[in-house]
Amino acid sequence: MAMITGSVASAVTSQEDIYVEGAPYFYYQDNGGVNELNHPDGDGFYWNLSGTASNPVYQLGCYEDVRLSDGIEINAVRCDTVGDKDVLQKRTHLELTFTLKSLFPLTTISAILRGGTVTTDGTAHTEKMGLGVIDNADTYYIYLPKVYDEVEGDFVSITGHRCKFVDAWEMSMSFASPWSIGITVWMMADDSLPNAQQFATIVRFDLGAIT
């Protein structure tokens, strides 16, 4: 019967009719001397953030065009007798890009712009930040959760363990449009973590679908 219907003659795992819409929330935190909230959890996974007064978590506000892509170096194993016999793949990083439209307070974008420490004066009602030499030692945690069922609280999240804001940014200042900045983040390998989680960890919770 399997041959007649075209079906496979074994157990099949089919996909669910669940679709995730819209961008995730964007949180980031300096990872210098701070562990993730789950470091690891009971299943050995590293994910989510845990902020402190001296090392807070920052949440970005309005952004669009969010895209996450895989960075892979691919080299074919070529034999002159038969052609490509195999292919070797090596993940180099994950790349996250988006256009940021929320610019204030400056403390939330200083790291993104590779700026200096922000000085806030509540009496004078001012924020001040310089743009100078880039500190290449700075790396960050990135946490991207998305709730896709508000009633049940079902969500999927991505945690990047060793991230940097990279590439020269450009600020658009168009008439009748909000100022916006194109941002690129690289999620690089953290070789202190298990091999399977060095670049990022994906966690999903679904009360109804996962049993």
What is the pTM for the complete model shown?
0.92
- Region for residue 62 given its phi and psi (left: phi exceeds 0; alpha: psi -120 to 50; beta: otherwise): beta
Beta bridge partners of residue 70, listed in sequence order? 94
d(CA 6, CA 3): 5
Q: pLDDT tens digits for the chain (211 residues)?
A: 555 677 888 888 888 899 999 999 999 999 988 999 999 999 999 999 998 888 999 999 999 999 999 999 999 999 999 999 999 999 999 999 999 999 999 999 999 999 999 999 999 999 999 999 999 999 999 999 999 999 999 999 999 999 999 999 999 999 999 999 999 999 999 999 999 999 999 999 999 999 8
Q: Where are the domains of the chain?
A: 21-205
- 3-class SS of residue 44: coil
